[in-house]
Structure 1
Amino acid sequence: MHKMWNAYPELKVDLSMVLNLIESHIRVRDKTVESTIKELIHSGGKLLRPAYSLLCAQIGPTREKEKAIAVAAALESLHMATLVHDDVIDQSDTRHGLKTIQTKHGNNFAIYSGDYLFCVCFTLLSRYATSLAHLEFNSRSMEKILSGELDQLNSRFQTNVSVKNYLSRISGKTARLFAVSCYSGAIESEASHYEAMRAWNMGHYIGMAFQIMDDILDFNSNLKTLGKPIMADIRQGIYTLPLIYCIQENREAFLPLLNKKDQLTDEDMVVIKDLITEYQGIEKAQKLAERYTQKAIEEIKKLPDGAYKETLFELTSNLLQRTA
């Protein structure tokens, strides 16, 4: 498990239970697929979404550990499924510094593995979710998540992408699942509608900040810490916030380079990175991430008092400081 959870021993135990519950639902006749999915489960992901779900399960008056663990496991299964499919679409070689499923076994194995994890998600929700309405809510949210992924696919190599387009894309692609995670935890604890919507808003803001920081790291991290090639997004035609800000400053400087699309050379990438430094794209993106984080913290302040709130404050503030 990721070392960040060493500071939260009780939460670390619960997250171990989440992973074990997911693994217990992996029963595939093809043992290559089964072992591949189990490797993914224990590949060292941050488990932020189930962690937020577990913390928000302490908002309301009801404490049902088994149900909270199951809902968190369902959400992490959904997250892992989208990652597997993302890697197929992006043809990514690595994730968390390890070879992706399609790199090791091919696209067919990867797609099946992702589909199986979707099934695990809804199996868990059907057994443990409080109501059919909650299941419908989660299925609608999955539609939004997949729509965000499709928006990203359709926007590849488009140089006219705006900040508004980008924020709409990451709202579906990333922020939605953070919001659902926080909301689901709150609902299962029988929090009031008002409190559950606070949790939803908090999760949305956290997800927006998280994705912006993830996109910043694509420019200023390294392969060892990030676990994937640097500036991979630009090579794939995915133009994120630091670049979008800079294109708005001087479109003419970037177009001759970006018009090369997937033919960019290493020298071109150096020029693009220098231009992003010149026009302060990373600094501008960082400021927006900070604003979203502050919005999340304001929502946390309004939640009912409890020990969980201090952990929410710490986790949310630390997301701005992460290097991987």
Structure 2
Amino acid sequence: MSPYPDYPIPADEEQRLRALRRFAVLDTPEDPEFKRIVELASAVLGVPIALVSLVDRDRQWFLARHGLEAQQTPRTMAFCAHAIAEPELMEVPDALDDPRFNTNPLVLDEPKIRFYAGVPLRTGDGYNLGTLCAIDRKPRVLDPHQRVMLQLMADLVMRELDLRQRSMQCPVTGLYNRSVFFRFGQQEFEQARAESTSLALFNFDIDDFRQINIRWGHQAGDQVLLDVCAVAQQLLGHEDLFGRIGDEEFSVLLVNASISRATKLAEEIRQAIAAMRGVFDHSDYHPNISGGITQLADRDQSFADLFYRADQALYLAKGNGRNQVASLLVD
């Protein structure tokens, strides 16, 4: 049993953790951009310690730190584990007077936290990844100007994280590019193996897409890509991973999904795209897709095994006449 009160678990915890992983910054070398922000926070607020803390499943990991040697701490000890459950700034004037923290080893021993203020690092879709926090070894209270400054610096952290995430995305569709999709796919593969949960994969491409570019130009082709993505995204859940794998090929990783759910969803996407109508140079265009689905199997050694089997199923669908979904399952 923990010697101090449990931290709150956000209602959207699993989705929050997936959002955190998809920024791909955990366990990376310290970055000078984030380092400058925590140094600025320390100077502006007059505190000895400032951190960019990311709250993982069982730990808080510091993307940047000033005034603290530790790279991470258990989540059970993390003030930030409480702060991410708050909509705005969480301020603790004196940790010894707060029953949530007055038995915490980080208060009773080094770094002897007395004051804490943390602003949640919130994504555009509402997930709190962690905090930008300021820590002092003596009790204090921020004044209104300092609270505003801490919020502005937290906004800078999120802007930098968002810029880095956009660099991992296809510039046309905003989906993850192939290399990033494979990286996240491998993470989901390893988690599914560790937790004995299911994964399903749906690969699809747009039939005769090159003819669109030839007949109407690349601007028309880009519009078709955007429209197809928009239709598919309306049917996907927040936990599903969607990537553009090639010129006209896409992949959807369905987390905790049975093959029956994957089959149903794939067919819904195919039918929704087939119902689309486009007009280019007064000519009607009716897109279709071919797709392949598969499910995580005991023999799979990596995410790549799952992916290439879904691709084989896609080739089966194309070989059988296109505008259909085929499945390929193994034990």
Per the normalisation by structure 1, the TM-score is 0.31
Q: Which has the larger radius of gyration?
A: 2
Greater percentage in helix: 1
Q: Answer 1 or 2: which has greater strand percent.
A: 2
